[in-house]
Structure 1
Amino acid sequence: MPIDPAAFRTAWPQVVRSLAVTTRSLDSGEEYAAEAFARAAAQPDGVIDDLVGWCVQVGRRSWLDAVRRQAVLVRIQPQLARPEVAPVDVPAEPGDDLDDRLALLFVACDDAIAPGAQLVLAMRVVCGLTVRQIAGHLGVADATAAARLTRAKSALARARGEFAVPDGPARADRLPVVLACVAGLFTVGQRDAMQPADATQDPARDALTLAEALVAQYPDEPEVLGLRAVCRLGLARRPGRVRDGVALPLDEVDRSAWDQRFLSAGLGDATAAIARAEPPERPPGRFALEAAVSGVHATARDAADTDWPRLAQLYDALLDVWPSPATRVARLVVLGRLAVRDGGDLGPVERDLEELVADGPPYAARDASLALADLARRTGRTDEAAGRYRELLDVLPTGPLREFCRRHAG
């Protein structure tokens, strides 16, 4: 029975969470869920009415079989004595109305795991990204990301023993890492799927779903509102970025195609995020500032109308709270725009971009190379621009962005 991708993405976190509670292990929950879904896919059509219930039941039975083989029959005798058709719903803790994927995110972002390993575990088990996608997002080798995933699962099992969704205070402590995971999922979606063919395989939409679940839990938290604003505004501006399979530069984006519903909702979130941050006691954080950046782009009539000085100020503030290579590249792009517009010296901007190309992680080096090619193209250095676009063809995957570079590589 072929499993519909949308049904799978909805059912997977519910089954993993239920089996993790049963087996008291996130790693085991994932393992038995995978086995159950594989068995579901092998069933004839019409056999399974309730995919979640069926997979939970099959996963539980597989676990019980494994426990029997390990000669601990006495310990699980009460569970084996239950009726053959047992309820599959796991009783929720009092007041626990967490979305299943969100619950798993909070489990994966345990402070007993190293920060880099938290991200890998959450993005693989919960967000469903491949090891290669995770490695690309973090700027590490595939083998490094895979090793972090293995260590994270082992560390979680050693530190906590039994699977349990953290309570309110523990969730609040883990919230910054959870936000970073959702933001990473959104970034991967926007970078790798500029024009997704299938809405069920769209990491950016998945990120918005998680952001909405976070807002339901933390409706007054500026960073949570800021993250949802980033997702909404990013998705609002995605239509019009591609024409005939080719990515469009900012100056040529069809702004009339933008999703006005997402645009309005995202601007409302961005305004609320900044309003709820109270300087100097509580200055805007990473996601409130990123939301403000998106808001500036979303309200400009065209690229020339964009408030580039305001963007430069926002990126300076963002660099203070989140000094990542991605922030550095974005800030330099804005400074390059200002230098071209005002006839300023491009030398410092291009030297800093060259430094990121040489020493930055792969994603930042790629984005810095694109920025350098764009500066050369817009300042009439066509041969230099063509050469840079040709070099990018070796690192960009097939898709609209690579097609843009191919067309400008001469």
Structure 2
Amino acid sequence: MMGEEKIIKTEEETESQRLDADEETVTREFLQMLEDEESNKFKFYQPEISPLQLDENEDSTDAETKVYLPDLGKGLGSVVQTRDGGYLAAMNPLDTIVGRKDTPKLAMQISKPFVLPSNKSMSGFELFQRMAGVGFEELSSEILSLMPMDELIGKTAEQIAFEGIASAVIQGRKKEGASSSAARTIAAVKTMVTAMSTGRKERISTGLWNVNENPLTAEEILAFSLQKIEAMAVEALKIQAEMAEEDAPFDVSPLTHQSHPLTSAVPLEDWIKNLGGQEAIKVVVVIQLRDPVRRYEAVGGPVVALIHAKHDEEKRFKVASLHVGGLKVRTEEKQRLTAMQWLLAYGLGKAGKKGKHVLIKGQDLLWCISSRVMADMWLKPMRNPDVKLSK
């Protein structure tokens, strides 16, 4: 028995040493990447798109630096993973060509994705009605405890990226090994970078929002939806700032239910591992917009994005709709002001434009906008009725 115990202990020590070595190697390589932005090892963060040739006579070196989506920081691409398993993505709400090294005018912080096993009889809007039925305090607490988000204010993009990869390495030691965990993180970020860039130039030039018709794996659903989430998040800012062009058509009452709508949510990776994906799903994330120019200060308040995907074939899905919603409450004046300030600073809001819908005394609301995919094309977002929050 003593001999067997010694063998097991030796094996455990060897495994621990191997993980320590893997972690040290990955972390050292990552630091080296940050130190040298020209390092070939960091190409996995760069979007795989051809340079935008702006003019036939333009110098080719200059053309290579012109993009629709700038990098987040030195040696980084347009998306990095955060410490909590979520992501930070550069945005281009003005749809203008920029330099790759330009500081993004806005960034989108995305929580770790969760899955709500789909109830076919319940639409996305009905889910928001159920969320409103929980009430403001309980709903806010439920969302933040389920999908906590790192506070990024005061950090640099390089620091955020390092914390993200270091966290993946540390978490990987407990499960699959540091290097394989880091590799999965890198692969996920690369998928998102590509998805954020693919088709953007054509969409901006034609105004048509065509999407890839190929069925998606569960891991690809969020990446596929990111560009549309980005655009709808800017519309969400206008609603929060009371500068939206379209007001809610009317108010509706919340739906009360015995169980809370988010209690069945499970992390996406756990759902894939345990359930395999033979049914429709709703992928849910929390989005917080941030201003890179102001040390990643929050712009507006957090919103919930709900992606409904239909089961298409063996473990493959097609995105059907996207809902983005948030809370309009009397106590969140700072969120309204930061949203208004950013919109006015970049010419996306009109001073004096105020929504016709004024909060009824003591009545807080949950607003929601939605868009559907039809004929492999995203439709224009639509403002849904506001839902009264249960007191």
* Larger-gyration structure (1/2): 1
Question: Could you state the TM-score of these two structures normalised by the residue count of structure 2?
Answer: 0.29
Greater helix content: 1
